[in-house]
Amino acid sequence: MKIGAIFPHLEIGADPMVIRDWAQAAEGLGYSHILAYDHVLGAVHQAREPKLWGPYTEASSFHEPFVLFGYFAACTTRIELATGILILPQRQTALVAKQAAEIDVLSGGRLRLGIGTGWNYVEYDSLGEDFSNRGVRQEEQVEVLRRLWSEPVLDYTGRWHRIDRAGIKPLPARQIPIWFGGFTDVAFRRAARIGDGFMFGGGHSQNLEGLAKVRAELSKTDRDPAGFGTEAFMNYQSGPDRWRGEIEDLIAERVDYVSMRAMALRGQGDGLKSPRDHIKALETYWQAVGELAR
């Protein structure tokens, strides 16, 4: 079991030294990876049609994950860097390929690219991308990413992409793993067909249900399930009485990764009060469950 920490965008603030200290504390304690969320824009929810149902607004703070990981690549030496998830269809595919390759090069091969489709149509509109076809377009994006990472010059014509004898350089030294995230059956099916793994971002019971669904979809393919990774997010606010038991449940289910989320979700109160509290949360959680890490 690899135990990681979710970067607390909403509550950590914008002091670069504090952000560095948090990342170095996670690495120094023994966490295997840092996982970062992605939102380029926050939007006002009021008076929208259709309504915005997601948990974040114009008041929510998000550090841009590729820039953040460039910073972490310089101030850490070992810890893996994972997006969880990058909203791929609202971004230009070739630019994502370039940015991801650069992070992987500068970090010495430490990037894991988690992707998803998101929920915020205002964000898509503002970035000039189509919200309505984001799922099927994402599949072609994955194909294009993998080819851009492996072919010095690509001549590609797809439904949404045309690359005319061009490529990125420097290339990463490997195929960067692409994991999926989400909560729907279509996301589970898509991941089982073309993903390298899946990130489950709900509560504990919801994560176990999603795990069963993904494995059912994998059984319909000719893929080896042993080559497909799994990760579940864990809530710090669940409390120490549940931390260890939930991880032991996931170990029994042969889940590969967990990520501790100390940011308060909607309905869990105001969250931690200071950046120092988030570093203390790293320490407290690791003291309780770190011996389960392998």
Encoding tokens for residue 213? 């669904």
pLDDT tens-digit map of 98-120: 999 999 999 999 999 999 999 99
Q: Note whether 50 and 29 are within 8 A (CB).
A: no
pLDDT at 270: 72
pLDDT, tens only, 53-86: 999 999 999 999 999 999 999 999 999 999 999 9
Residue 268 has pLDDT above 70, yes or no: no
Q: Which pLDDT band holds residue 294 (cuts at 50, 70, 90)?
A: confident
What is the rounded CA–CA span in Å between residue 254 and residue 269? 32
In this prediction, residue 165 carries a pLDDT of 98
- pLDDT given for residue 121 in this prediction: 97
Average pLDDT over residues 152-169: 98
Spatial separation of the C-alpha atoms in residues 139 and 159, rounded to whole Å: 11
CATH number of 2-292: 3.20.20.30
Q: Is the pLDDT assigned to residue 154 strictly greater than 70?
A: yes
In whole angstroms, give the CA distance from residue 263 to residue 79: 20
- Which residues are CB-neighbours of 35 under 8 A, at least 6 positions away? 4, 5, 6, 7, 82, 83, 84, 114, 199, 233, 259
Dihedral-angle region of residue 178 (phi above 0 means left; psi in -120 to 50 means alpha; beta otherwise)? beta
Tell me the C-alpha distance between 244 and 71, whole Å. Answer: 32
pLDDT given for residue 266 in this prediction: 66
Report the percent of the chain where pLDDT is more than 70: 99
Report the pLDDT averaged over residues 277-288: 97
SS3 at position 189: helix
Of the listed ranges 94-103, 124-133, 273-282, the one predicted with least confidence: 273-282
pLDDT at 209 over 90: yes
Structural contact between residues 116 and 85, judged by C-beta atoms closer than 8 angstroms: yes
Task: Kindly tell me if the per-residue pLDDT of 269 is higher than 70.
Answer: no
